[in-house]
Chain A
């Protein structure tokens, strides 16, 4: 595939790995924010190419993983009601709620449909005027423009049977929370390339200034990540702390301005709870008051739904980079992608699931088959 194979080239990868090894004089702890980046690191075994001094820890950037339990419960409640259709990204279906998951609601007769784009849910609403159609809008800044567009379009068409269950999260407040923790070990960040494609990287300059920590906006292919790591190590070794952009083929300083306009038109910033993390101020999007009639929370009277998450696993430490998934006693035994105990095992982009799926042989974890 043109424009993609170049970023998976083994020769370039080895050259970059050698360059990183040459630059590195001491131990550095780096975090990739985005679950997509974690997935690439694990899938391509990039940790095997890095010198021992570079420790990669894995950030909270998996939207499926961090969607709070109560939001899953709300989606389950909506999908269980007669006359409603829930449209969702596929990965949300097997995320466990308090008592069940959407797959099981579907198996019991709930009308749940998987979509690749939120606009498909607007189409479903248009074609089924007798049903209440709800789109389950999760994700970071990346999916926000398309979700905003769906609501905007529904209002323009005057659809009365369409609404959105919004659980959007924002990256910079999560990084700020992480850096503010007294237990933080992370010395450099690979910022999420897709998020920055939408919103640019102005916000990351504030983080760099406030915490004096280097950040490199990185892509998602093996060469992107190795290059971003090389740039981070360069900054750390030279004592610099700046925002640099590795993912120039997609990310500009300002980001995608039309996308930002539609987001601002439809969404307000609000506090948001993160599964496995807790509540973070001003870390999410919700619908603006003008769009309240499209708010599934309000339409279905679910504002009061809450769920307590029992403390079972070490996802806190994993998401902060304090522990590796391997170091959890439940990893691969009591906790697997099939029976996840915690957020990072839920989606393929979660750190624990990525370790389980691609790397557990490296840790000599044997599994009873």
Chain B
């Protein structure tokens, strides 16, 4: 028997494992590992001021017009899920990245990487969904590409979309523009997309159906901008959830952000699912929600404008930008205490958008 040998004697710890030599799933999570990959490998390679802004889209001036330009790849499994599919996600995701720059979406490209053996009917459904989603925005799909890879080299179908949009003169939105005193607005309940995907993947069933919130946000943005006031930043909290987006804003603007836990809207079903699965909804992906950072005086008028729009009916003011704890997001809990809302190192859920 070796009782009591440990506590009175020496204590031992493992040596950390560096994660610099191979790519891990966590590098695609939108969390800390993704940020490191950007910082250490991507940004140094392509160093330029537009890319360096690290916004969801590049805004460039061309012949007097201000164009927003963005790209995104979609690798979701399952391909079809309640509330959407990889096709609608590929349109709305890129439309939303344009909209977060304040841009009116104009044109999209679509590129498919298809694994051989994919049923033609599946491809037909995906294409039909892309067409329908683009029609609704409306945005035109004006160019594209198709590649087929060997069985086992893909996962059914991957889609890349790029988009171009037009930004109004004078509108300057960036994650580096938040200032102390600004208010943080959220357009509705969080976590529905991520929980929908997880439930589908794991075969979990809930008493009432949870659907992905997948939706194009450009018309909500237009309604908000029409309310007037000074907008600092818009973000759609996709992979990595609300927490990752707010952490990025706090870091890039060198400010603190304090959230009010009680103000963050959450559907009961999502809350229960997260409780059961041991997940924090603050880190779960959304595909039809946005965060707005606005000057204090604009908060109420913008909130009202959001609530009048169907995609912003559940909007709330969820926090304030501060000059404390710079670079950190903190939360006033329901108990009145304060805690950090950290950025995760890697995945909470693997590959959801």
Contacts and interface: CB of A to CB of B under 8 A. Distances in A.
Interface in A35-52: 42-46, 48-49
Nearest to A180: B4
B41 interface: no
Contacts of A336: 345
B120 interface: no
A340 B328 CA distance: 21
Contacts of A335: 16
Contacts of B338: 45, 48, 361-362
A343 B16 CA distance: 11
B209 interface: no
A104 B19 contact: yes
Interface stretch (B74-82, B106-114, B329-337): B329-337
Given A48-B337, A338-B345, A317 B11 contact: yes
Contacts of A333: none
Contacts of A180: 3-4, 7
Given A178-B7, A340-B16, A359-B340, A107 B23 contact: yes
Contacts, number: 177
A46 B8 contact: no
B330 to A, nearest CB: 6
A281 B2 contact: yes
Interface string B115-156: 000000000000000000000000000000000000000000
B352 to A, nearest CB: 14
Interface string B305-339: 00000000000000000000101101001111111
A358 B339 contact: yes
B1 A271 contact: yes
Contacts of B333: 43-45
A281 B1 contact: yes
A222 interface: yes
A25 interface: no
A271 B1 CA distance: 7
Interface stretch (B171-179, B189-197, B217-225, B268-276): B268-276
Given A180-B4, A337-B345, A104 B22 contact: yes
B14 A98 contact: yes
**Most central of B18, B23, B340 by chain A CB within 10 Å:** B340
B337 A282 contact: no
B9 A278 contact: yes
B306 to A, nearest CB: 27
A341 B340 contact: no
Contacts of B334: 8, 10, 44
B325 A311 contact: no
Nearest to B247: A369
A330 B153 CA distance: 43
Contacts of A274: 6
Interface string A1-20: 10010001010011000000
A310 B7 contact: no
B337 A45 contact: yes
Interface in B31-58: 32-33
B340 to A, nearest CB: 5
Contacts of B346: 94, 103
**Most central of A44, A271, A278, A339 by chain B CB within 10 Å:** A278
B298 interface: no
Contacts of B14: 69, 96-98, 275, 309-310, 312, 340-343
Nearest to B22: A107
A190 B251 CA distance: 38
Given A100-B17, A282-B1, A369-B327, A316 B22 contact: no
A104 B24 contact: yes
A256 interface: no
Interface in A315-363: 315-317, 319-320, 335-343, 356-362
A313 interface: yes
Contact of B11 (A103, A222, A276): A276
Contacts of A124: none
B60 interface: no
Interface string B244-281: 00000001000000000000000010011001010000
Contacts of A42: 339
A280 B2 contact: yes
A311 B10 contact: yes
Contact of A177 (B6, B336, B337, B340): B6
A319 to B, nearest CB: 8
A180 B4 CA distance: 7
Interface string A171-183: 0010011101111
A283 to B, nearest CB: 8
A97 to B, nearest CB: 7
B339 A279 contact: no
A13 B338 CA distance: 15
A29 interface: no
Contacts of A146: none
Given A271-B1, A271-B2, A361 B327 contact: no
Nearest to A178: B7
A231 B279 CA distance: 30
Given A44-B337, A49-B335, A279-B5, A310 B12 contact: yes
Given A48-B338, A358-B342, A311 B13 contact: yes
A181 B4 CA distance: 8
**Most central of A104, A222, A338 by chain B CB within 10 Å:** A338
B202 interface: yes
B26 interface: yes
Contact of A311 (B11, B19, B272): B11
B62 interface: no
A183 B7 CA distance: 9
Contacts of B342: 356-358
A279 B335 contact: no
25 contacts: A4-B275, A10-B334, A43-B333, A48-B337, A96-B14, A99-B17, A100-B17, A101-B17, A103-B24, A107-B24, A177-B3, A180-B7, A275-B14, A276-B11, A280-B4, A281-B3, A309-B13, A311-B13, A312-B14, A320-B7, A342-B13, A357-B340, A359-B339, A359-B340, A369-B251
